[in-house]
Structure 1
Amino acid sequence: MYRKIKELLQFGTVGSAIEAKGWIRTKRINKQVIFLTINDGSCQQNLQVVMAPSALPKTLLNQLITGASIVVSGNLVASKGSNQLVELHGSQLTLLGNAPDYPLQPKAHSLEFLRTWPHLRFRTNTFSAVFRIRHAVSYAIHHFFHERGFFYLHTPIITAADAEGAGELFRVTSLNIAHLPKNLDGSIDFREDFFNQATNLTVSGQLAAEAAAMGLGAVYTFGPTFRAENSNTTRHLAEFWMVEPEVAFDNLEDTIALAEALLKCLLDYVLKQCPTELDFLNQRLLNYSKEQDRAELPLLERLRFVLAEPFARITYTEAIALLKEAESNKQGKFVYPVTDWGMDLQSEHERYLVEHHFKRPVVITDYPKDIKAFYMRQNDDGKTVAAMDVLFPGIGEIIGGSQREERIDYLEKAMQRTSIQDLNWYLDTRRFGTVSHSGFGLGLDRLILFITGMENIRDVIPFPRTPGHVPC
């Protein structure tokens, strides 16, 4: 009877006849015995298979190499080793798939090298741990919102709206780009395109989610978003996943409370559900820190600390004052010196506040309206908006949100100021029964980066899309 390796290691009965399938991780052979470790992806641990060489033809023995897939039948016995409770004493083995010249041999590989084999890196200990954690977090997100009465909304991937107004868009077209139809002024005539207008891949599902919240009360999106930002940093992707709740009748304080509750719920779930994966990644980070001679808080301690501590709160104005007086700023250690109120905070400023000043997650509120999106509610001072960012250690911004501008006259002025057009449907949500409402966007990939302790965001998404790079 075939059972997954996770089930065998947790619930397998010593003496039972079983069948296991998997890919060979390691092999040791001597005259008396063959030792194989196999893994089927169901858990972090491998299953050890022990067989007599005489039970197999020599041609088959030569094909038992790392990467090959096999099915083994035999009896489950108590293991003499310290790393597992049981092992499989095989009596019959069948090769399912050979793997000559398999590129991921059982030795240390750099993450840069593994990125050149994204379709195979799932079989490594590191990446199997990362993607099982990503699954657990994704499940917990849906559970969190379902338990709180939110409705899951599928917002469009193809849209005519630029929700952020930044213009970093991927165009979607069915036109023949070698022979584009033109208007008299030389511009592209999108009336001949599939949608009869210019369209692009979405940068956010927020605007559509706002419309849905005006009827359903509380909704959330969870899907891919796209940004054509020519950035090769360790925190940016061209295709990334966002979680975006929108709640009618909520204000900024409600949204901050929701964001903190969500993050802590997700950390708690992963700590409880993925202990072996986290233990493995924790040891990996300890080894890396030792090699780099860096004193870092161990991964597990970092997660538990963030879970236990309340997030710090500070306004943008207070943050600028702190940063201006920081020794790093006075000594010229910031790449972007902090000078005047109104400047956009960079990652180095955010991480200074989190990692050096407060030494815990930080929520910054009330940003200048000129550096934030048009839809954010203007505060009474006329200079700032009811916006908030949640900053995490090692990451910087992990959540960005705001109370949305529900007053149509204010919203129309903000749209004019930022040259946002063709959103009459969006204004309808303010024309017909407007209410205060609020929401935020959580970058799933950045959260996984924090939870796993990986150094590059390309290593926490299955197939990363970055400038000049589409591997599969």
Structure 2
Amino acid sequence: MAFNNRTKINLLLESAKTDDQVTLMGWVRTKRSNKNVAFIALNDGSCIQNFQVVADPQNIPEEILKKVNTGACLKVNGKIVPSQGSGQSSELLADEIIVLGEADPEKFPIQPKRHTMEFLRENAHLRIRTNTFSAIFRVRHNLAFAVHQFFHNKGFFYIHSPIITASDAEGAGEMFRVTTLDPKNPPLTPEGKVDYSQDFFERETNLTVSGQLEGELAALALSDIYTFGPTFRAENSNTTRHLAEFWMIEPEMAFYDAEDNQNLAEEFLKYIISFALTNCGNDLEFLANRASEEEKTKKADQRSDMTLIEKLNFVVENKFIRITYTEALDILRQSTPNKKKKFTYPIEDWGMDLQSEHERYLVEKHFNKPVIITDYPKAIKSFYMKQNDDGKTVAAMDILFPGIGEIVGGSQREERLDKLEERMEELQISREEMWWYLDTRRFGTTPHSGFGLGFERMVQFVTGMANIRDVIPFPRTPGNAEF
């Protein structure tokens, strides 16, 4: 049986001509039938649309039609004919149906009805067959493609940073350990601690939380690079914003200062969102309708003022506002929600970390534009960020979007060896262990910058999904590594 002669449904919808003989392969979404005819909605994942197959029981054996149930996989040979019903201009009149894989209608869990998101997460191995998730993952693909296209077109080089690392780039300390030692009887040092010198790498190692530090090494040789890979954080969090395994996009650029960094990030975000709007129209329309229905179930004060498509165009069409952390704090302190004590986290002293509710207020209420906040207090940012002349702030930036708050974080990196060592001393980061990172400041240092975009956060924004677990095929969260 040849399989490479099939026509994908997305191409068929673009070019179907009456009387064309075609072969379709896909999975049954629904079947309606009576003694005279069966209507089968077939989907092959190439697009959101199904293609209707019409089966005449006089041509297709009864024992075959009995096996055509939701979830079954079919190969259908037939002729394109004008559709007699509404919703499609053409349909496939089946000459032959071959059941490639049966699906017991009593046991197949993804039936043509509304399922809860939690039920679908429990069946993540099959949820991709639903309209919602097939749309999400087609959009995810297009966003990933746009990322690579954007950086390739600008002359960046794609670097694969290591997944196994001995450093904690973020200083978070919540990392997954990598070891081959016997967990029941690990070797111990004379002090009674685990002796990692006998481990595979002869030292303690973890799964990476970021490719940034290695990205800096590459940028200080190739000028403009980006990493795009999986990262891991052992944070025991069950919120709608956290995953234990997620993908990060982290460009690093030599000869970029803080303003150059902001310019690139704004251009990058607008590019990939524009790409999705141009290339994922049908999927985004479906997801926008879904998001609008979800909005109706929320309390009035929690509903968004914009539809999904309006949010995307809001980012693409507006120039991002740029303000300092100090200016942002002053705006928030004088805001009506703060004065009326409606913020969950009241605005207090300079130096506090801004929360999502504060970020969303700035974007959605005060400026009504995407916002870049710069020059954060040194105390709440990472050791590698360039220290400003005031001695209190660093050349950091966060980019804020509607509905989601922070989407990108970045900074100009500290290129001065003495300043970097001084900051590491303050935070008790071992200079001996980070000798290789400090070498880049000893040999040919230069101003350089970079930022990080959590890919799932971007997919979540573009698809309008409320929970980050629904924009990655197989979410890894506390207590969940089933698939």
With the shorter chain as reference, the TM-score category is over 0.9
Aligned mates of 1:135, 1:142 — CA distance in 2: 11
Matched, 1:188 2:194: yes
Indicate the residue corresponding to 2:314 in structure 1: 305
Indicate the residue corresponding to 2:7 in structure 1: 3
Matched, 1:328 2:337: yes
Conserved 8 A contact 1:9-1:85: no
Indicate the residue corresponding to 2:435 in structure 1: 424
Aligned mates of 1:366, 1:287 — CA distance in 2: 39
Matched, 1:241 2:250: no
1:463 to 474, 478, 482: 474
Q: Which amino acid aligns with 2:337?
A: S
1:362 to 371, 387, 393: 371
Conserved 8 A contact 2:10-2:47: yes
Q: For 1:134-162, what per-residue CA distance to the aligned partner results, in whole angstroms no more than 9, with x for missing partners?
A: 00000000000000000000000000010
After TM superposition, the structure 1 stretch with the greater mean CA deviation from structure 2, 330-339 or 65-74, is 330-339
Aligned mates of 2:125, 2:133 — CA distance in 1: 11
Matched, 1:351 2:360: yes
Indicate the residue corresponding to 2:140 in structure 1: 134
Aligned mates of 1:174, 1:255 — CA distance in 2: 40
Matched, 1:161 2:167: yes
Q: For 1:147-193, what per-residue CA distance to the aligned partner results, in whole angstroms no more than 9, with x for missing partners?
A: 00000000000000100111111111111111111112221111011
Q: For 1:391-450, what per-residue CA distance to the aligned partner results, in whole angstroms no more than 9, with x for missing partners?
A: 111111110000000000000011111121210000000000100000000111001101
SS in 1 for 2:12: helix
Q: CA deviation at 1:73?
A: 0.6
SS in 1 for 2:103: coil
1:171 to 164, 174, 177: 177
Q: Which amino acid aligns with 1:23?
A: W
Aligned mates of 2:332, 2:297 — CA distance in 1: 32
Aligned mates of 1:90, 1:142 — CA distance in 2: 41
SS in 1 for 2:52: strand
Q: CA deviation at 1:4?
A: 0.9
Q: CA deviation at 1:24?
A: 0.2
TM-score (norm 2): 0.96
Residue pairs, 1:257-406, within 5 angstroms: 257-292=263-298, 294=300, 295-296=303-304, 297-406=306-415
Aligned mates of 1:329, 1:468 — CA distance in 2: 38
After TM superposition, the structure 1 stretch with the greater mean CA deviation from structure 2, 85-94 or 432-441, is 85-94
Conserved 8 A contact 2:64-2:97: no
Aligned mates of 2:350, 2:312 — CA distance in 1: 33
SS in 1 for 2:472: coil
Aligned mates of 1:130, 1:144 — CA distance in 2: 21
Cα root mean square deviation, aligned: 1.1
1:45 to 49, 53, 60: 49
Indicate the residue corresponding to 1:91 in structure 2: 95
Residue pairs, 1:218-233, within 5 angstroms: 218-233=224-239
| Distance 1:365-1:126 versus aligned 2 partners, 3 A rule | same
SS in 1 for 2:58: helix
Q: Which amino acid aligns with 1:411?
A: L
Aligned mates of 2:475, 2:253 — CA distance in 1: 31
Percent identity between the aligned chains? 58
Aligned mates of 1:7, 1:115 — CA distance in 2: 31
SS in 2 for 1:53: coil
Q: Which amino acid aligns with 1:298?
A: T
Conserved 8 A contact 1:24-1:67: yes
Q: Which amino acid aligns with 2:336?
A: E
Conserved 8 A contact 1:403-1:436: yes
Aligned mates of 1:302, 1:350 — CA distance in 2: 16
Indicate the residue corresponding to 2:421 in structure 1: 412
Q: For 1:13-47, what per-residue CA distance to the aligned partner results, in whole angstroms no more than 9, with x for missing partners?
A: 22111111100000000121100000011111101
2:21 to 11, 17, 38: 17
Indicate the residue corresponding to 1:197 in structure 2: 203
**Structure 2 unaligned spans of 5+:** none
Indicate the residue corresponding to 1:434 in structure 2: 445
Aligned mates of 1:334, 1:189 — CA distance in 2: 49
Aligned mates of 1:253, 1:382 — CA distance in 2: 19
Count of residues in Structure 1 that have an aligned counterpart in Structure 2: 472
Aligned mates of 1:277, 1:328 — CA distance in 2: 37
Aligned mates of 2:87, 2:139 — CA distance in 1: 22
Q: For 1:66-98, what per-residue CA distance to the aligned partner results, in whole angstroms no more than 9, with x for missing partners?
A: 000011111011223342222100011111111
Q: Which amino acid aligns with 2:19?
A: G
Aligned mates of 1:471, 1:275 — CA distance in 2: 33
Q: CA deviation at 1:347?
A: 1.7
After TM superposition, the structure 1 stretch with the greater mean CA deviation from structure 2, 22-31 or 57-66, is 57-66
Q: Which amino acid aligns with 2:332?
A: L
Q: For 1:89-118, what per-residue CA distance to the aligned partner results, in whole angstroms no more than 9, with x for missing partners?
A: 001111111111110100111111111111
Aligned mates of 1:175, 1:332 — CA distance in 2: 53
Conserved 8 A contact 1:464-1:471: no
Aligned mates of 1:79, 1:305 — CA distance in 2: 39
Aligned mates of 1:458, 1:353 — CA distance in 2: 27
Q: Which amino acid aligns with 1:237?
A: L
Q: For 1:364-391, what per-residue CA distance to the aligned partner results, in whole angstroms no more than 9, with x for missing partners?
A: 0000111100000000000000000001
Aligned mates of 1:71, 1:166 — CA distance in 2: 52
**Structure 1 unaligned spans of 5+:** none
Q: Which amino acid aligns with 1:316?
A: Y
Q: Which amino acid aligns with 1:24?
A: V
Aligned mates of 1:226, 1:351 — CA distance in 2: 26
Q: CA deviation at 1:285?
A: 1.3
1:54 to 46, 54, 58: 58
Q: CA deviation at 1:356?
A: 1.9
SS in 1 for 2:66: helix
Q: Which amino acid aligns with 1:123?
A: R
